[in-house]
Amino acid sequence: MAVEDFWRGLTEPSGPVLGLAVVVGLALAAAVPAAIDDAMLRDRPGRFATDPRDDAAFTTARMLRMDEASTAPAILVLGGSAVREALTSPEALIHEVVERGVRAEVHVVASADQTLYLSDAIFDRAPRGGGMLVLGMGAYRVAPLPHLQQAEADAPRFGVDLPRLREHLAEDGVVAKPWAVGRWASPRLSFLLPRAWHAVGRWGSGDVLEATNWWPYGSPPIAQVVFEDYAAWLRDVPESVVVDQFQAAEALVRRARDAGYDVALLRTPANPTYFPPDVAQAMGALDRRVDEWAKGHGLDWVDPGVGLDIGPRDLIDWCHLNHAEKEAAWTSALADALASRWERL
Amino acid sequence: MSRRFGQLAQATLLGVALAGASWWLASAAFGRLVFRYQGF
């Protein structure tokens, strides 16, 4: 009798039951972003990543790891995809630095299209015990693509809030489009939305993705025509863009020094023959400005590529290294440079 | 009493299905929108 009653309750359609179901469903749906906490994104980004190249998922985890860091001195490497691709992997660099006996927390946050605005915002999450900041720098960083600012405003890429990035964007009057989800939703929600089904599909399977570099080794060079718009942009970069990026870099350097960080710049591999001569010339002029700026601010360069015989064929375009042995050598050379600089501090 | 438990179970099952469907729909409708730019 009791079983029959239970079955009737379970199967009979009823208005109040449907209403309760709607309440339960909406509550559960709303609870998902709250139930996924920082620890899950930090420790298991491979569960949420759309694929092994999901830069934002792995970068989110790396930023969250900085939050967890103690107040012990830290070595921080920030930069864009040029740094990321030049490394075998961030973990390989961290391993090599620790192997050299350096007693510091090491954090490598080198992510896709990292503007200097973004580097400055990421530094906000850096351990507060001081240490050493090595910042990827070059022409490509002071002339970021024009759509990047708007893209950051429209749809926050990362699962963490970066208030300083919002400040920088607001200073430039960059406003998100009204329909942009990221404008009104939390960064966590806009981070989880596209990843929800990847995470659900992988749950319990033990299938956790490992981050990889963007291009598989041996990929053919990217046709220059792909970057035609970028080349046109580089020919005549608006001065205001360059000035804004230099200002962000300046703010970052000042804040890092105030927080007890020694600051140096990191030169990444480059292929100046990739673009037509007039574009290469424009980039060369920007590189010289970066050099002057560095000198004016008393900033040293760390250049792990010296003596590694990295040539145009080793890069897939103008700034991304794609060669297993040379990436391993570059990673080791950077670990050497970081360890010896750390020792001298 | 058993009937009440049955109704509760029905509401829970439907609720879980609804939550899943909401996320599926949201992921399909808005996921691409917020994921359209990731850089490389």
Mutate to test the interface with A, among B4, B10, B22 (most CBs of A within 10 A): B10
* pLDDT tens by residue, A33-81: 778 888 989 998 998 898 899 999 999 999 999 987 778 899 999 999 9
* CB count in 10 Å sphere of residue A94: 18
Q: Which residue of A has its CA nearest to B14?
A: A21
For residues A119-131, average pLDDT = 94
Convert the pLDDT of each residue in B1-40 to its tens digit. Answer: 789 999 999 999 999 999 988 888 888 777 776 666 666 7
Residues 6-35 of chain B whose Cβ lies under 8 A from any Cβ of chain A: 6-19, 21-24, 26-27, 30-35
Picking from B19, B26, B34, the nearest residue to A25 by CB comes out as B19
- The answer to whether the CB atoms of A214 and B35 lie below 8 A apart is no
State CA A83 to chain mean position distance: 10
Q: What's phi and psi for A263, nearest 5 deg?
A: -120, 135
Averaged pLDDT, A316-324: 95
Residue B25 with chain A: CB contacts under 8 Å? none
Q: How many CB pairs under 8 A join A and B?
A: 141
Kindly list the residues from chain A whose CB atom is less than 8 angstroms away from the CB atom of residue B2: 1-3, 5-6, 9
d(CA A64, CA A304): 27
Contact B2 A3 (CB under 8 A): yes
Chain A positions touching B22 (Cβ under 8 A) are 25-26, 29
Q: How far is B6 from chain A (nearest CA, A)?
A: 4
Select the more confidently predicted residue: A99 or A178.
A99
The stretch A169-175 carries a mean pLDDT of 85
- pLDDT at residue A294 in the model: 98
Q: Does residue A182 have a pLDDT over 60?
A: no
Report the pLDDT value the prediction gives residue B16, as an integer from 0 to 100.
93
Query: CA A255, A256, A257, A258: dihedral to nearest 10 degrees?
Result: 50
Over residues A184-207, the pLDDT tens digits come to 567 788 788 888 877 777 777 766
Angstrom distance (rounded) from CA A109 to CA A69: 14
pLDDT at A68: 79
Q: What is the pTM of this model?
A: 0.90
Residue A153 has pLDDT above 90, yes or no: no
Per residue, the 3-state secondary structure of A23-89, as one string, reads: HHHHHHHHHHHHHCCHHHHHHCHHHHCCCCCCHHHHHHHHHHHHHHCCCCCEEEEEECHHHHHHCCC
Q: Which two tokens stand for residue A30?
A: 């709303």
**Given B9, B22, B34, which is nearest A155 (Cβ)?**
B34
Chain A residues within 8 A of B4 when measuring between CB atoms = 9
Strands A74-79 and A105-110: parallel
Contacts A157 to B, Cβ<8 Å: 37-39
Q: What is the ipTM of this complex?
A: 0.87
pLDDT at residue A169 is higher than 60: yes
Please give the share of chain A, as a percent, with pLDDT higher than 90. Answer: 68
